[in-house]
Each structure stands twice: as structure tokens, then as C-alpha cells.
Amino acid sequence: MTNETKPRVLLVDDESLFLILYSEYLSNGGFDVICERSPIEAIKRISLGEKFDLMITDIVMIEMNGWDLIDQIRNKLKIDEITLPVIVVSGYDSSAKEFDVLKHRANAFLIKKGSSVIELLRQANLLVGRQVTSKS
């Protein structure tokens, strides 16, 4: 499988550890992963026409939080949930997460924990239209 046929994922997190962990796991799962530590740089990539099949973002980041990143993409750049699905990941559990996911038009929310990489790969496959098996 060439990079051209792999779904492209924009992974946004200001924590290098999670970028490395998620990038490796997604790459091994058949995704072409582009990492960005800056939400502002992620917006620039998208606004300059770079195409992605999925974006995965942290919520708590220094430059801009993940909810604001999604709002910029949805409202300013006018990119909807079907054109660019978004998975939000966070180290913080939030009782308001369902509301926030709907309010900011994200597609999924995951808590960062040991088993979250398996669920992340499962959600990523679903959102790019890949068949999900019990081994995914």
C-alpha cells in the first residue's frame, strides 16, 4: 500500500509523547500520519489546501485549545464534519464531553489512557470509512 492510498491523518498535540505513541500506532494501522505540535500550524496547513481524511486533536494545548481549533476549521474555514472528521482526545475526563462534542461539531471523544490507542484506531477506521474487524 502506497502513501497515496493510505488515509491521511493530521495529529495535533503539543505533547511529544502522545504524538509519537499515536503516530506509531496509526502508521502501523495503515494511516499516513502528519504530526503537528501547534494548532495554529495545523490551521495553516488546512487553509493552504493540504487535504486530510481525519484530524485527531488534544484539547488542552498552550497556543489554542482543541475546541477552538475545531471551531476555526468548522466556522472560519467552512470545513464540515463529513469532509474532515475530528477525534478529540484528552487526558481529562469531562462530564460535559458529549455537549462539547456536539457544540464544536467533533465526531468522537476519547480519554487518553493505556487502552485508548486501540479505541483510537477503531474510531479512526470508522471515520474514514474502513471496515472495522475485531482485530482492529
Domains defined for the chain, CATH in brackets: 8-127 (3.40.50.2300)
Where helices occur in the chain by DSSP H, the ranges are: 16-28, 39-47, 66-71, 97-103, 116-127
CA–CA separation, 66 and 92 (whole Å): 13
pLDDT in tens, the chain (136 residues): 445 589 999 999 999 998 999 999 999 999 999 999 999 999 999 999 999 999 999 988 999 999 999 999 999 999 999 999 999 988 776 655 665 766 678 888 888 776 578 889 999 999 999 876 655 4
